[in-house]
Amino acid sequence: MHLLETHFPGCKLMEEAHRDSSTRWSFKFHRQEVDDIVTEDRIQWAISILAPYKSPGQDGIYPVLLQKGLQSLLYPLCKIYRASMSLGYIPKIWRAARVAFLPIPGKDDYTNAKAYRPICLTSFLLKGLEKLVDRYLRDGPLLGLPIHPRQHAFQAGKFCCGSCGGLQGTGNLDYCAVATQCVSKRNPC
């Protein structure tokens, strides 16, 4: 429990979260937008680029299951994704996450909660829908309103270490040094 309180202050346990009935988005897409965003071709693309054997979320569905059965799943997935966006509703099982805490290499004291970093394992069905919306935004609305060059989160090829240059002398460099420990060795700073 201490790990959850440290890394997710104010989080709710599953029982508490299920009592919360305000689960709709405040934003809903129009029918034509939904039809543009969710197509069978785009679903095929989104599912095919998932790493096949990544750990699944609460639903237990591995990407490889979606990929191998995609021809049978395309039509129902298209209907489910379109309904989700049209109604502004994400199924409860897609919203659930399994959290695993990985030890941060090089820490002296692994009895301290800060010696671990959390990873959230969420549904690959939701990740497929997220990829469709992300592609739509990047190929459409964001072309006219590009992302700021200093935006590093959710940007392919950008890492937190790239954003630390302006932090020298601000007292925030220590934070950035800790954050860069999470960058894999394939992408050194």
Please state the domain extents for the chain. Answer: 2-146, 148-189
Inter-axis angle of helices 70-87 and 40-48, nearest 10: 110
Strands (E), 20-143: 98-103, 116-121
Distance CA 113, CA 59 (A): 27
CB proximity list for 53: less than 8 A, separation 6 or greater: 62, 63, 64
Instruction: Provide the residue-wise pLDDT of the chain in tens; the chain has 189 residues.
Output: 688 888 888 877 666 555 555 556 666 678 899 999 999 999 999 999 999 999 999 999 999 999 999 999 999 999 999 999 998 899 999 988 888 899 999 999 999 999 999 998 999 999 999 999 999 988 988 888 877 888 776 677 776 544 454 444 444 434 334 343 433 333 443
